[in-house]
Structure 1
Amino acid sequence: MTGLSINYYIAPPGYALERFLDDCAAAGAAGVGLTERALEEVALPDLKRMLDERGLAVSSVNSAGFFLWGDAARAQRQVAINAALIEAAAVLCAGTLVTIGGGLGDLGTERTGDLARARRAVDAALPELCAAAEARGVRLGLETMHPIRIPTKSTVNTLTQAEALCAAHSGLGFILDVFHSWWDPDLEPVLARSIARLTLVQLSGVAQPRDPTLLPTRCPLSQGCVDTAELLRLLAQSGYGGPYEFELFAHELAGASVADAIRRAVDDFAALAAA
């Protein structure tokens, strides 16, 4: 099993990318997941050098796609963003360019049937992005998101949906984000059928709040309701050999420093993988 990568989403605004990379290297992380903010902070040649100096791979670049913009100017801007992310993923030899379909709210309408229309639009938009990525040797990983994110982020919500889209589009893989998909009843059969299409596993604990009016949040790997050790065993038995990436957002640090949270994630992963 490979080591753990850490996504830059863990760093709050103003937390320098170089400092984050130092934290990851000091903790023994295998790599990093990079965000648009990271790519804006440091020029690609300098970023590649910084990563090489610290022995850090790039497990993911986040995030392309967002195919549902109803506003023409915003849609055109997204095309440019997607092209830049493909180029960054190619230069940095990223394992996956995370691809997110886009939410119903991006359409700018509230009509009956929008969900079905949105899902057809994502299906129709994927070939162009797949071809552009393939031309630069970049692997796309389609991220499945919990249905609660349909209005804001994605209408691709189950692993079976992602599996069907991967079968329909050459070169497309999928991502298992445990926070979004740990509950999916088809998790095990999808892994058994389509493990070769799995490009990245994003890990976190899932904390269920006691207040029923609040939504679950990400938490350290050793906490929450997900049996991460059992999931790691299932992935190993299914033949998965790709990267694992810890994804926790800065607002979920719960008072921990970035460096301490990274160190804990690396240690937790090692313990869970050995369990």
Structure 2
Amino acid sequence: MTGRREALRRFSFNQATAQHWPLPDVVAGCVAAGVPGIGLWREPVAGYGVERAAKLVRDAGLTVTTLCRGGFFTAEDWREQNRRAVDEAATLGAPVLVLVSGGLPAGSKDIDGARARVADAVAELAPHADAAGVTLAIEPLHPMFSADRCVIATLGQALDIAERFDPGVVGVVVDAYHVWWDDRVYAQIARAGKWIASFQVCDWITPLPEGVLLGRALPGDGCIELRRLREAVDRAGYTGPIEVEVFNADVWARPGEEVLSASIDGYLREVI
């Protein structure tokens, strides 16, 4: 048991991986499996109640590793939504709020301008996050999502913004699914160093399903060199949690306990 506990020391189960598993069951499953960390999402947490969720996780002895997500800075109410997200993260004890920037504004083709607006929005939000003790973590998404979901498409672009701030206030997310393809990713991970706020793993499968958002697989079921990425973030000085985060309809159709067990197996086999 001691060896397994040590092997899972950095493991975190992102609740999106078992999309239909109710929060109390996710928490109970993690405790039963010896999992120390959990990544939470705003929508299911809001449905359960933020304060209630915070107590549930705290009483179970779990660490909240991230809250997903803030960002989407093209929305009219982005200021209100992101300030609220920071406050929710603080209530939950989540040290990191993941930011997905949003795509191009409606009717615009100006991607440079859109990226500049992301930087401005992060700068505006940073003082509130700093006061709350929450790190804003900019997540680059694969370029195929640039138009509608995230104009920040590479780790380098995320760092160009994050490096303007103290790493305790603004950092970056290294998500295997979104960065594995980039021939500069290992140089950018080394550059990121103390700005790495979160490391998330899953795998890339082909052919992608019709809904590409659901194209992630459990670790070991695709083509990403997950251990190589983990070793790179380790060399860069990151010692924090490693979240398994998967969006996949076939995975979601399986019982939650089975998904958690398969996530752990893939993590032990392919990541550490």
Q: For residues 183 and 210 of structure 1, do their structure 2 counterparts lie closer, same or farther at Cα, with a shift above 3 Å needed?
A: closer
The superposition leaves residues 141-167 of structure 1 with CA deviations (integer Å, 9 ceiling, x where unpaired) of 000001100122110001111111111
Rounded Cα–Cα distance in structure 2 between residues aligned with 1:109 and 1:224: 36
- 1:205 maps to 203
- 1:164 maps to 160
Rounded Cα–Cα distance in structure 1 between residues aligned with 2:97 and 2:198: 10
CA shift, 1:206, in A, is 1.1
Rounded Cα–Cα distance in structure 2 between residues aligned with 1:157 and 1:167: 16
- 2:65 maps to 59
Q: For residues 40 and 159 of structure 1, do their structure 2 counterparts lie closer, same or farther at Cα, with a shift above 3 Å needed?
A: same
Rounded Cα–Cα distance in structure 2 between residues aligned with 1:238 and 1:154: 25
CA shift, 1:200, in A, is 0.4
Rounded Cα–Cα distance in structure 2 between residues aligned with 1:245 and 1:12: 15
Q: One-letter code of the match for 1:5?
A: S
Paired residues of 2:217 and 2:248 also in contact (CA < 8 A): no
Paired residues of 1:8 and 1:38 also in contact (CA < 8 A): no
Structure 1: 5+ residue stretches without partners: 70-74
CA shift, 1:138, in A, is 0.6
Asked if 1:27 corresponds to 2:27, the answer is no
Percent pairwise identity? 26
- Out of 250-259 and 46-55, give the one that drifted further: 250-259
Q: One-letter code of the match for 1:21?
A: V
Q: Which residue of 184, 187, 190 maps to 1:189?
A: 187
- 1:232 maps to 230
Structure 2: 5+ residue stretches without partners: 1-6
Paired residues of 1:94 and 1:138 also in contact (CA < 8 A): yes
- Residue 253 of structure 1 aligns to a residue whose secondary structure is helix
Rounded Cα–Cα distance in structure 2 between residues aligned with 1:242 and 1:34: 16
Rounded Cα–Cα distance in structure 1 between residues aligned with 2:79 and 2:211: 35
Q: Which residue of 138, 143, 146 maps to 2:134?
A: 138
Q: How many residues align?
A: 262
The superposition leaves residues 220-250 of structure 1 with CA deviations (integer Å, 9 ceiling, x where unpaired) of 1022001212222222233210111111125
